[in-house]
Amino acid sequence: MVALVQRVSEAFVEVDGAVVGRIGRGLLILLGVHRTDTEKEAAWLAKKCAGLRIFPDDEGRMNRSVREVGGEALVVSQFTLYGDARKGNRPSFVASALPEKAEPLYELFTRLLADHLGKPVPTGVFGAMMNVHLVNEGPVTLWVEKRAEEPKD
């Protein structure tokens, strides 16, 4: 499972011209689910995102988490994060989980993140064509990934 985490001063997501999720200062998390992911990866990643120390302290150093600054989070599903463009010009998405697996893990990640933050976490609409608007503060953007362990032979 991968989270492309962006520190934002504001962000919102639209579906068919209607805003379906909006936050002020906090984290915009674009979430990709790998075909091998389980609940274990969702739990690890939610805890990691809530605790990332990427907000400035009183001395301006990145030393505070979104929890510590009272920030919010917005989660948007994005299967294209596991796109593979190494061959040819058209990316392959075979590493991305199919919707019937990805959606429950996306929802679990969002619930666990809300638990860690102690507040609701707005989202986009899974599988919808969305327009994501953000003001990246910094800019600060991190790729955070937890992959399921490969079975040992």
* Predicted local confidence at residue 150, as pLDDT: 62
- 10 Å Cβ neighbour count for 87? 8
**Domains present along the chain, CATH in parentheses:** 2-145 (3.50.80.10)
Contact 109, 103 (CB under 8 A): no
What's the DSSP call for residue 34?
A: B
* Predicted local confidence at residue 153, as pLDDT: 56
User: Of 78, 109, 110, 123, which residue is the catalytic one?
Assistant: 78
In the block, which residue shows the tokens 């990427």? Answer: 54
User: Of 6, 79, 109, 110, which residue is the catalytic one?
Assistant: 79
Backbone phi and psi for residue 40, each to the nearest 5 degrees, phi listed first: -60, -45
* Predicted local confidence at residue 149, as pLDDT: 73
The reply to whether 93 belongs to the active site is: no
**What is the rounded distance in angstroms from the CA atom of residue 37 to the CA atom of residue 115?**
21
* Predicted local confidence at residue 152, as pLDDT: 62
Question: Using only C-alpha atoms, what is the Rg of the chain?
Answer: 16
* Predicted local confidence at residue 104, as pLDDT: 98
The reply to whether 38 belongs to the active site is: no
* Predicted local confidence at residue 107, as pLDDT: 98
Sign of CA dihedral 132, 110, 95, 44: positive
Instruction: Please state whether the peptide bond connecting residue 139 to the residue before it is cis, i.e. omega within 30 degrees of 0.
Output: yes
Question: Going residue by residue through the chain (153 aa), what tens digit of pLDDT does each one get?
Answer: 999 999 999 999 999 999 999 999 999 999 999 999 999 999 999 999 999 999 999 999 999 999 999 999 999 999 999 999 999 999 999 999 999 999 999 999 999 999 999 999 999 999 999 999 999 999 999 999 998 876 565
Q: Where are the alpha helices (DSSP H) in 14-98?
A: 39-51
The reply to whether 80 belongs to the active site is: yes
In the block, which residue shows the tokens 């994060």? Answer: 81
